[in-house]
């Protein structure tokens, strides 16, 4: 009996098809279910990390959660308050920065407020985290220019001049 004869015999298919179908539940039980259990455990760990991070953000700034406050805050944006708040969080002393803000301007129905912020003596890390936090916290705040000047005789000490524009 050759292979051609076996393939032509209908009994071959009556045995082959149930055997192939029996492989599916065995593979599910032995391969896929353990992988699903492992991925559920991984997802729970990732969710726990995300929840801890969200709670940390909420503890740092609980006012961000209320939508009414966010709308009110957007219309009451103040450079002095914003810079003081973020500088304090990043270890920048109050005497080491200055702020000069211009009044609100309206050009073609678009309200903007410009300001210049000078950080007298900061590290690159402080400056980068300050700028990132400032622009993350106030999404309508745009940094138009940055000027870095290395302070002589001091390692990793910089004078930074920033020009901002806030869009209402």
**Would you kindly state where each structural domain of the chain is located, as residue ranges?**
3-57, 75-167
% of the chain exceeding 70 in pLDDT = 92
pLDDT computed for residue 58 by the predictor: 80
The per-residue pLDDT for range 113-137, each reduced to its tens digit, is 999 999 998 999 999 999 999 998 8
Domain at 75-167: CATH code: 3.30.70.60
β-bridge mates for residue 150, sequence order: 158
Binned at pLDDT 50, 70 and 90, residue 55 comes out as: confident
Mean pLDDT, the chain, rounded, equals 86
Compute the radius of gyration of the chain from its Cα atoms.
31
pLDDT at 73: 47
Nearest residue to 86 via CA among 148, 139, 138, 123: 138
Q: How many angstroms from the chain centroid is the CA of residue 61?
A: 15
Length of the chain: 168
| Listed residue (93, 92, 112, 87) closest to 102, CA to CA | 112
Of the listed ranges 45-49, 54-58, 63-67, the least confidently predicted one is 63-67
For 94, phi and psi rounded to 5 degrees? -60, -30
Question: How far apart are the C-alpha atoms of 151 and 138, rounded to whole Å?
Answer: 29
Residue 48 scores a pLDDT above 90: yes
Whether 150 has a pLDDT exceeding 80, the answer reads yes
What CA–CA distances, in Å, run from 162 to 52, 87, 101, 114, 141? 33, 14, 12, 11, 12
> pLDDT tens across 63-114, in order?
666 645 545 544 578 888 889 989 988 888 888 899 998 888 888 888 889 9
Model pTM score? 0.55
């Amino acid at each position: 009996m050759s292979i051609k004869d076996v393939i032509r015999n209908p009994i071959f298919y009556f045995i082959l098809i149930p055997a192939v179908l029996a492989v599916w539940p065995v593979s599910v039980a032995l391969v896929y279910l353990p992988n699903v259990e492992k991925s559920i455990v991984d997802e729970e760990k990732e969710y726990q990390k995300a929840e801890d991070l969200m709670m940390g953000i909420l503890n740092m700034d609980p006012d961000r959660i209320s939508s009414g406050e966010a709308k009110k805050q957007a219309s009451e944006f103040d450079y002095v308050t914003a810079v003081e708040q973020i500088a304090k969080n990043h270890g920048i002393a109050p005497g080491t920065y200055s702020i000069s803000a211009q009044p609100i301007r309206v050009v073609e129905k678009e309200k903007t407020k410009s300001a210049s912020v000078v950080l007298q003596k900061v590290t690159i890390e402080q400056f980068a985290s300050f700028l990132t936090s400032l622009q993350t916290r106030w999404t309508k705040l745009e940094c138009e220019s940055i000027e870095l000047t290395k302070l002589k005789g001091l390692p990793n000490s910089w004078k930074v001049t920033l020009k901002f524009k806030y869009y209402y």
